[in-house]
A and B are shown apart, each in its own frame.
Chain A
């Protein structure tokens, strides 16, 4: 049901945006009447995000993430995008408490070109982009081997909470660049500020890591470095 809602909202957003682009192009008062009309659809770019691979190899060895994107170029101004990936984490802290999870995540959104490229720019098709994403992940996680002790009265207990199933929704503000580095090969990066919509209530077993979102129960920062090919 949640997946259905997510897809419906995303589709409405994308369709709304496409219609606004189409409406703009069909405007009879447009000054481009005299010139040759360029197509709205300018192809699509298939991308791979390599930042999580570098991050899990060098910095956060407890987590992994694989992500692919499909970005459509509309009039070199609007870039609807779908990001799909698989991520997980296996973390044990110094006290022996363990957390593990893995699951698929999906993000749907749009980037807008923020600046018009300079006509004399050496790199063609370079875009400064800003946009939004709506992300969702349905995943299972386990919190194991957590020791609870009573220092005054005595006694101890090991608590295990296994296979907890949950769905998390979040949105992301994105800003970054895309540029054609060689013919149809594109590269780019973006910085993301992620805000969790469906938060865990205080006292409940909160997931330490959310696939596609990362760490934190309120907001998180993220970084993507993408390599893609334009079709």
Chain B
């Protein structure tokens, strides 16, 4: 009698577990990152006069303003002591322009990119990732630009280095 009850209980538990295994993962919650941002770091290039070698070090900007050209929304507003920015690229154009104000100097950075549709899941939908083609800028504060990683996706990395010479 005891054995029969135990077997029945075991049967019910297995039955219930199996159905719950079967019915999981059906909610509409997106659990993946949908944020795609370009990573840009600032560097100060100086020449070591003792050995005439170039020394590159991170540059902290005293006051930084960043805004997308053609938009009203400011991304960074008078941010103090900042050496990195994360920028959203335009999903519906192949060029994104940003207006930078480094202390009292202003520059415009133009990033040309290919847009790639990436399907995450039915719950999360699509995101648009980017492949950087070329980067150009005005040369008021910025002296040179280099692309260190041309793929912009949900994994935040340094994509662009902005160099300023002392």
A residues apposed to B, CB below 8 Å: 51, 55, 59-60, 62, 91, 93-95, 97, 99, 143, 146-148, 150-155, 157, 159, 161, 189, 191, 202-206, 208, 214-216, 221-223, 225
Within 8 Å by CB of B22, from A151, A202, A223, lies A223
Q: Does B73 lie within 8 Å of A152, measured CB to CB? A: yes
Q: Does A153 lie within 8 Å of B126, measured CB to CB? A: no
Contacts of B88 in A (CB 8 A): 150-153
**Cβ of B108 under 8 Å from chain A:** no
Q: Which of B1-57 contact A (CB under 8 A)?
A: 14-15, 17-19, 21-26, 28
Chain B: interface residue total (CB-CB under 8 A): 35
Q: Contacts A59-B22, A191-B18 known; A152 to B125 CB distance under 8 Å?
A: no
Q: Does B91 lie within 8 Å of A148, measured CB to CB? A: yes
| Interface residue SS majority, chain B | mixed
Whole-angstrom CA separation of A95 from B71 in the bound complex: 27
Within 8 Å by CB of B118, from A93, A203, A214, A221, lies A203
**Cβ of B138 under 8 Å from chain A:** no
9 sample A-B contacts, Cβ–Cβ < 8 Å, listed by A number: A51-B22, A97-B122, A97-B125, A155-B92, A191-B18, A203-B118, A215-B26, A221-B22, A222-B18
Query: Distance (Å) between the CB of A147 and the closest chain B CB?
Result: 7
**Cβ of B96 under 8 Å from chain A:** yes
Q: Contacts A153-B71, A215-B26 known; A93 to B123 CB distance under 8 Å?
A: yes
Further 6 A-B residue pairs, CB within 8 A, beyond A93-B123, A206-B119, A223-B18: A143-B122, A148-B91, A151-B88, A153-B91, A208-B121, A223-B19
Query: Distance (Å) between the CB of A195 and the closest chain B CB?
Result: 14
